[in-house]
Structure 1
């Protein structure tokens, strides 16, 4: 599934209608959650049928397209199903019980309720919410895809406007010549990552750099009267500041992950549990600012697109093991140089990257965030790179 996003332009009355459609989608989702909580044994089909009951009892719900109502019920069921799956797997801690949504920002249509123009530059929503015709502006060309390939259309409200997302049913696959390289990546806070070739990438620290403007935006919000128009404007400015930082992080992760994947045939990285790492309140802000998980997600995605091998290895002990004699050398986080009795002396992150690469070449493939099938990494390396492959240290 490929998601194409375009910014929309229209009248203020149209954007008010979009906000009303989003509130209606939120109402349907929360009503389905309430039905599941009150009536024991409620299933997915019961939630779909309940959408017709809501449309009959509430006129504003009837104004929303029927497939958009079903999509909202599917959102409710996905949260319920996630809770059941967490209980079955025995995940420790909270099982993420379904919650009522307080701040919904999108409404999703399926294959009806909308119509694209022949030139693919405008879209018209045909339900009774009176959204009407909206202009589309983006860098992608929808003319390459047929209408039958578009399975979902989302209206998403953000701080800087409204966007339309098209979910296109297609598999993105690209072919590249084998580069003959394999690399291990050790992410960090001083440098974004250090690879097994002793190359480092600077940590951009977008949140730290935008801290001054964020403080000013927060100060403006705190000085405005609650419920006033000026407070709403100040909140919108604050939202734009945060949106810019999140876009900077995504842009950095996408470009860097694509560069790493296209330059190597095998990429090994640590299987980090970010949720547990941010419990350290001293490092939580810096870890979130680095956005390691987003970088990993895009590594796995581009690995699937370009047919490259991505391997997540166990992170435990990668910074303590000697890459030369494999002895365990205990060192604190402040110790940045690896010094072993065998005479091996390397920068800590470089030594860790070598261990990550070695583990990656000796383990099976990783089923990542995008559902990649497990594979034998060593067998694929021999097939793609030949039997005379050697790791460059």
Structure 2
């Protein structure tokens, strides 16, 4: 599934109608969760049946497209099914019990309720809400994809305006030359990551650099009277500041992940539990600012696109174990140099990256010597997990 995003332009009255459609979506989603809590809906089919009943009971719900109502119920059922899966798998901690949504920012249509213009530069919503025609501006060409491949159309509200997203059913695959290289990545706070070759990438620290501007914008919001137009404008400015930071993080993760995957045939990285790490209140802000998980997601995505192998390695003792002799050398977080009795002395992140690479290659077992001779024949290029046969996962 490929998501294409365009900025939309229209009249203020049209965007007020979009806000009303978003509120209807939030109402249907919360109503679906309430039906499940009351025991009146125990499956997705029953929730879908209740969508038509809500349209008959509430006139504002009837104005929204029928498939858009179903999409709102699907969101509710997704949170319910996720809660069931966590209970079955006995995930430690909170299981994520479905809660009511307080700030919905999008409305989603399926294959009806919208129509693209012939030049693919505008979209018209044809349901009873009355959104009408919205102009679109973006860098992607929709002529490349047939209309029947567009499975979802989503209107998203952000701090700097409204966007329309097209979910296109297409399998993205690109061919690149095999490099015959394997790399291990150790992410950190001082450097964004250090690879097994000793190369480092600077941590951008987007949030830290913008902290002064964010504090000033937040003070302006707190000084305004609640409910006033000046407070609304100040909140919008603050939202734009945060939106810029999130876009900087995403752009940095995408470009860096693509560079890593295209320049190596095998990428091993730490299988970190970010949710547990941010419990340390001293490091939580820096960990969230680094955005390690987003970088990992894009590494796995480009691994599938370019048919490369990505391996998630358990991070236990990767910094303490010597990459040369395997002896455990205990050191604190402040100690940045790994020094072993065997004579091995290097940066601790470089040592950890070498351990991550060796553990990743060890999943192949006795065929580990063949991994660099397999060229670009990595099967489906799926992300693999340590503990299972790498050949069975990659070549199935």
Task: Determine if the alignment matches structure 1 residue 383 to structure 2 residue 374.
Answer: yes
- Match for residue 20 of structure 2? 20
CA distance in 2, matches of 1:378, 1:128: 64
Shift of 1:91: 0.8
Report what 1:29 is aligned to: 29
Given that 1:115 and 1:123 are in contact with CA atoms closer than 8 Å, whether structure 2 keeps it comes out as yes
Query: What 5-or-longer segments of structure 2 have no aligned partner?
Result: 378-396
2:196 aligned partner = 196
Runs of 4+ aligned structure 1 residues displaced above 3 Å come to 376-382
Q: Write the mapping of 1:337-376 to structure 2, written as runs, cut at 5 A.
A: 337-363=337-363
Task: Please state how far the C-alpha of 1:377 moved relative to its aligned partner.
Answer: 7.3
Deviation at 1:42, TM superposition (A): 2.2
The answer (yes or no) to whether the contact 2:35–2:41 under 8 Å persists in 1 is no
Residue in 1 that maps onto 2:165: 165
Aligned pair 1:81/2:81, yes or no? yes
Partner residue in 2 for 1:109: 109
Aligned to 1:148: 148
**Counterpart in 1 of 2:228?**
228
Structure 1 residue 137 displacement after superposition = 0.5
Distance 2:224 2:135 in 1: 34
- The DSSP-based 3-state class of the residue aligned with 2:18 is helix
d(CA) in 2 for partners of 1:343, 1:93: 43
Kindly report which structure 2 residues correspond to 1:49-64, keeping only aligned pairs within 5 A, or say none: 49-64=49-64
Match of residue 394 from structure 2: none
In structure 1, the residue corresponding to 2:294 is in which secondary structure? helix
Shift of 1:143: 0.5
1:378: Cα distance to partner? 6.5
1:92 matched residue in structure 2? 92
In the other structure, the counterpart of 2:46 is 46
Q: Counterpart in 1 of 2:382?
A: none
1:54–1:201 distance in 2 versus 1, CA, 3 Å:
same
**1:165/1:364 CA distance change after superposition, 3 Å:** farther
Whether the 8 Å contact between 2:182 and 2:372 is mirrored in structure 1 is no
| SS across alignment from 1:140 | coil
* Number of the residue aligned with 1:217: 217
Query: C-alpha separation between the residues in 1 aligned to 2:14 and 2:259?
Result: 41
State the 1:39 CA deviation.
2.2
CA distance in 2, matches of 1:360, 1:43: 41
Distance 1:351 1:267 in 2: 16
Q: Does 1:270 align with 2:261?
A: no
Structure 2 residue matching 1:19: 3-state secondary structure: helix
Q: CA deviation at 1:324?
A: 0.7
* CA root-mean-square deviation: 1.4
Gaps of at least 5 residues in structure 1 are 366-375, 387-393
1:208 aligned partner: 208
**Residues 123 and 359 of structure 1: is their aligned pair in 2 closer, same or farther, counting only changes over 3 Å?**
same
Contact 2:105 2:157 in 1 (8 A): yes
In the TM superposition, residue 385 of structure 1 has moved relative to its aligned partner by 7.5
Distance in 1 (CA, whole Å) between partners of 2:182 and 2:334 is 29
After superposition, give the CA deviation of every residue in 1:272-328 in whole Å (9 maximum; x if it has no partner). Answer: 000000000000000000000000000000000000111111100000011111100
Task: Note the alpha carbon deviations across 1:14-40, whole angstroms, 9 max, x for none.
Answer: 000000000000000111111111125
Contact 2:51 2:70 in 1 (8 A): yes
**Between Structure 1 and Structure 2, how many residues are aligned?**
376
Other-structure match for 2:393: none
Structure 1: distance between partners of 2:369 and 2:295: 24
Q: CA 1:364 to 1:278, structure 2 compared with 1: closer, same or farther past 3 Å?
A: farther
Distance 2:245 2:368 in 1: 36
